A and B are shown apart, each in its own frame.
Chain A
Amino acid sequence: GAGVSQSPSNKVTEKGKDVELRCDPISGHTALYWYRQSLGQGLEFLIYFQGNSAPDKSGLPSDRFSAERTGGSVSTLTIQRTQQEDSAVYLCASSFKNTGELFFGEGSRLTVL
């Protein structure tokens, strides 16, 4: 498609379960970002991928969070043993090179019960 695609759009899970969130960036965009947006908060940086370089994982809040990007395209954010404080909207954005002009997906809203 023409834009950044994220799935699922909504996910409700029980505390302790693992979840996977998927991001399909715009074709040709080498940079991919994951952010978290909690209610009433700004954007919290999670992880950054650029081409084949090692990702910057400095924003991941705990070792329960991990992400990978296969073939320089699709990315998956995995949250293991979910906690209630993980409830948020997880945003994926892609960019051509590093201009800072990001194209965002619709987000995946995660609710942990």
Chain B
Amino acid sequence: AQSVSQHNHHVILSEAASLELGCNYSYGGTVNLFWYVQYPGQHLQLLLKYFSGDPLVKGIKGFEAEFIKSKFSFNLRKPSVQWSDTAEYFCAVKGSNYQLIWGAGTKLIIKP
């Protein structure tokens, strides 16, 4: 069955620390990959996406993610986090149909 696994449900970091959130998926075909973010009190919004081409994609607010096809991974990174990055982050995968398969989410808390 298709699935998306986010390794950490809760992550707590201090400001200026580096961030890496893991995402692994199970799907045999071509995929579109996404990271969505939900800031406190706000709606879910797209952080970055991968459709094809350069496997290192850059999104808003200094985030980037790398698609490693051989590892079925799409990890999210940021070299130096800020307090305003406190949010819940969701990885999602879309295969050949319209369905997105969602990870369970990672709650990130940045201590000022």
List A residues at the B interface (Cβ < 8 Å): 4, 31, 41-43, 45, 48, 50, 56, 91, 93, 98-107
Residues of B within 8 A of A45 (CB): 99-100
| CB-contacts of B25-82 with A (<8 A) | 32, 34, 36, 42-46, 49, 51
Q: Is the CB of B98 within 8 A of A102?
A: no
> Which residues of chain B are near A31, meaning CB under 8 Å?
98
Knowing A42-B103, A42-B104, A42-B105, the reply to whether A101 touches B98 (Cβ < 8 A) is no
Taking a contact as CB atoms under 8 Å apart, the answer to whether B102 and A43 are in contact is yes
Q: Does B92 contact A (CB under 8 A)?
A: yes
**Total of A-B residue pairs, C-beta within 8 Å:** 48
From the candidates B42, B100, B103, B104, name the one contacting A102 in the complex (CB within 8 A). Answer: B100
Q: In the complex, which residues of chain B have a beta carbon less than 8 angstroms from the beta carbon of A100? A: 32, 34, 49, 92, 94, 98, 100
Size category of the B interface is 20 to 34
How far is B98's CA from A35's CA once the two chains are assembled, in angstroms? 14
15 contacting pairs across A/B (C-beta < 8 A): A31-B98, A41-B104, A42-B102, A42-B105, A43-B90, A48-B99, A56-B98, A91-B43, A93-B44, A102-B36, A102-B44, A102-B100, A103-B45, A103-B46, A104-B44
Instruction: Find the residue from A31, A100, A107 having the highest chain B CB count within 10 A.
Output: A100
A99 to B99, CA, bound (A): 10
Could you tell me if A99 and B32 are in contact, using CB atoms closer than 8 angstroms?
yes
Q: Knowing A42-B102, A42-B105, A45-B99, say if A104 contacts B49 (CB, 8 Å).
A: no
In the bound assembly, the distance between CA atoms of A41 and B43 in angstroms comes to 16
B 82-112 binary contact with A (CB < 8 Å = 1; else 0)? 0000000010101001111011110000000
